[in-house]
Amino acid sequence: MNSILIDIIEKAMSSGMISSVMVPSRGPEDSFPWTLVSNISALQRAEPLPPVMSVQGAKALASFTQSLPEGKLLAVMRPCEVRSTIELSKLEQIDLDRILLLTMDCPGAVPLKEYVENGMMEPDISSPETLRPLCRQCIEFTSAGDLCLSVHGGLHSVVSLTARGEELLDSLGMKAESNTSEWKEWANGLRLEREKIKTESTESLKKAYSGLQGLVEAFSGCISCRSCRTVCPICYCRLCFIDMKDRRSPASAHLEHSYNAGAARLISNTLLFHIGRMAHMSLSCVSCGMCEDACPSDIPIGRLVSMVSDNTTELFDYSAGRNPEDPLPLNTFCLEELHEYED
Amino acid sequence: MEDFEPRIIGFLCNWCSYAGADLAGTSRLKMPPNLVPIKVMCSSRVDPEMVTDAFLRGADGVLIAGCHPGDCHYDKGNYYARRRFAVLKKVVESLGLEADRLRLSWISASEGARFQQVVEEFTEKIRKMGPNPTGKETLL
């Protein structure tokens, strides 16, 4: 798939339609940092679909595209990265005006820790055990952004998903694939399998970590490194509520809790951090799994947030990253709604 | 359990519910002393994190009260507050925590009696639920 993607990128760059491309490139020691490529010769090192997700693409994109001064940028990313890019554009962290998003049938990624320990390994879409836990249960593994490269269901070509995508294909003299029925059948089949995995995983998660005791157990190993927040594309705040100095508990609060409960955890507010974060970002969570990949304590944080996010988005029939036109649920309201929550 | 007195945190909006509470007081309406009021300028000022913090620090109940829909001093703050509250409740529910300890009520400045009724009802409900187990949890 990499070579087809590079072929498309090359065509787009040499046609002048695209002035630069954001794509992972091969670095030393089998690493794959994101790069902004402006010269076709530098595409030699491009690896559009590396086996691991080291930095979330949307985060890389947001690091420099609050506004692009000139030219058009093609960002080559996985579907979950495209969806968080769309969320970040709603959060005014990315300006999509000059950006085209190219995605592909995503094979998933291998867990970062295993990759670091064992060296080069490839994700295998047909054997879930090679994938990260959230990739195993991912049902949004294709069709996001402006263009999608498909290699399944007998297809080997690009499907345009928006007018802008179509325009780019036209200008490259490429035809968008029109017969997509086999590909859709493949996607539906995989989606069904994944949904089953997801239901099972959610059930066992609930069984293990539901209620106060369950949550205490889940997060007792949390080392408060905040890596989950650091790697999360949606957590863009410069100052997180948990780090605000004026809301740090005074010694008296720790002591009072200690008197009441017999003892009190230090560094405290572990649950507050995780629940507060879920309340803040779960509506925009795309279940990319970065948080879980980054957690040094193997807390199933990604699956937990994803489970919560399924329930919160359902309130507003919202799907993170689905449609750039859908407003963020917390930025809008209906006069008559949610009566069961008020009195 | 017999001598359990609930501690309830109430985030009251400055323009309606706090004035409603005031009216209940000046009208000398009798009500349980279990609610600790915190004045906020608008119900939409209440970040879910503030409610979660109170909840995890052992508050037995958390009430958010604001102007009735359509009457917000800032026009539409309470509509946003309602959405945020629903999201927080869903989060708490999804994690298997006691979402019934959280309540959102609309109380206007002229509804002293309604304030009294909400406090009475909520206090009774929380009394039945018993103390919030977060108060006795060491590893928060």
Q: Which residues from chain A sit within 8 angstroms of residue B94, using beta carbons?
A: 307-308, 311-312
- Nearest to residue A270, comparing CAs of A197, A219, A202? A219
Judge: A253–B57 Cβ closer than 8 Å, yes or no. yes
Is residue A152 scored above 90 in pLDDT?
no
- The interface pTM score, or ipTM, of the predicted complex is 0.95
pLDDT given for residue A182 in this prediction: 87
Judge: B105–A342 Cβ closer than 8 Å, yes or no. yes
Looking at chain B from residue 51 to 80, which residues have their Cβ under 8 Å from any Cβ of chain A? 52-53, 56-58, 69-70, 76, 79-80
- Paired tokens of A137: 């249960």
Q: Which residues pair with A37 in a beta bridge?
A: A21
Q: Tell me the nearest-neighbour CA distance from B27 into chain A, angstroms.
A: 23
pLDDT, averaged across chain B: 96
Q: Which residues from chain B sit within 8 angstroms of residue A241, using beta carbons?
A: 47, 49
Number of Cβ atoms within 10 Å of the Cβ of A243: 13
Nearest residue in B to A343, CA atom = B105
Judge: B137–A216 Cβ closer than 8 Å, yes or no. yes
pLDDT given for residue A155 in this prediction: 65
Element (H, E) at A104: strand A99-104
Is residue A63 scored above 80 in pLDDT?
yes
Task: Classify burial at A331, counting beta carbons within 10 Å of its beta carbon; exposed 0-12, middle 13-18, buried 19 or more.
Answer: exposed
Is residue A232 scored above 60 in pLDDT?
yes
Q: Which residues from chain B sit within 8 angstroms of residue A330, using beta carbons?
A: 80, 83-84, 87
pLDDT digits (tens, 9 = 90+) for A253-296: 999 999 999 999 998 899 999 999 999 999 999 999 999 999 99
Exposure of A42 in the CB half-sphere (CA atoms within 13 A): 14
pLDDT given for residue A175 in this prediction: 76
Looking at chain B from residue 80 to 109, which residues have their Cβ under 8 Å from any Cβ of chain A? 80, 82-97, 103-106
Give the model's confidence band at B1: pLDDT under 50 very low, under 70 low, under 90 confident, else very high: low
- Nearest to residue A49, comparing CAs of A138, A149, A140, A139? A149
Distance from CA of residue B97 to its chain's centroid? Answer: 17
Where exactly are the structural domains of chain B? 8-136
- Which CATH fold topology does B8-136 show? Rossmann fold (3.40.50)
Q: Give the integer Cα–Cα distance in Å for A71 and A98.
A: 7
- Nearest to residue B80, comparing CAs of A326, A328, A291? A328
Give the model's confidence band at A154: pLDDT under 50 very low, under 70 low, under 90 confident, else very high: low
- Picking from B91, B98, B134 by the largest number of A CB atoms within 10 A of its own CB, the best residue to mutate is B91
pLDDT digits (tens, 9 = 90+) for B100-133: 999 999 999 999 999 999 999 999 999 999 999 9
Judge: A343–B103 Cβ closer than 8 Å, yes or no. yes
- Nearest to residue B96, comparing CAs of A122, A244, A201, A216? A216
Where exactly are the structural domains of chain A? 2-196, 215-341
Q: Give the integer Cα–Cα distance in Å for A271 and A25.
A: 38
- Nearest to residue A101, comparing CAs of A35, A155, A161, A141? A161
Judge: A275–B95 Cβ closer than 8 Å, yes or no. yes
Highest-pLDDT range among A42-46, A148-152, A179-183 = A42-46
**Residue with structure tokens 């004045």?**
B39
pLDDT given for residue B85 in this prediction: 98
pLDDT digits (tens, 9 = 90+) for A163-178: 999 988 888 888 777 7
Q: Give the integer Cα–Cα distance in Å for A309 and A312.
A: 5
Is residue A306 scored above 80 in pLDDT?
yes
Q: Which amino acid, residue A204?
A: S
pLDDT given for residue A71 in this prediction: 85
pLDDT, averaged across chain A: 92
Judge: B92–A275 Cβ closer than 8 Å, yes or no. yes
Average pLDDT over residues A63-79: 87
What pairing do the DSSP bridges indicate for beta strands A20-24 and A73-76?
Answer: parallel
- Decide if A284 contacts A320 (C-beta within 8 A): yes
By Cβ distance, the residue of B56, B80, B84 closest to A271 is B56
Is residue A340 scored above 70 in pLDDT?
yes
Q: Tell me the nearest-neighbour CA distance from A189 into chain B, angstroms.
A: 28
Average pLDDT over residues B60-70: 97
Q: Which residues pair with B39 in a beta bridge?
A: B12
Give the model's confidence band at B2: pLDDT under 50 very low, under 70 low, under 90 confident, else very high: low
Q: Which residues from chain B sit within 8 angstroms of residue A297, using beta carbons?
A: none
What pairing do the DSSP bridges indicate for beta strands A147-150 and A157-160?
Answer: antiparallel
Q: Which residues pair with A76 in a beta bridge?
A: A102
DSSP string, A192-206: HHHHHHHHHHHHHHH
- Paired tokens of A309: 């996010």
- Paired tokens of A283: 């509506």
Verify cis geometry, omega within 30 degrees of 0, for the bond prior to B8: no
Residue B130 at interface with chain A, using a CB cutoff of 8 Å: no
Is residue A323 scored above 60 in pLDDT?
yes
What pairing do the DSSP bridges indicate for beta strands A73-76 and A99-104?
Answer: parallel
Is residue B37 scored above 70 in pLDDT?
yes
Average pLDDT over residues A7-27: 91
Judge: A279–B136 Cβ closer than 8 Å, yes or no. no
> Cα dist. A317→A238, A283, A313, B58, B85 in Å?
29, 10, 6, 33, 17
pLDDT given for residue B68 in this prediction: 97
- Decide if A101 contacts A85 (C-beta within 8 A): yes
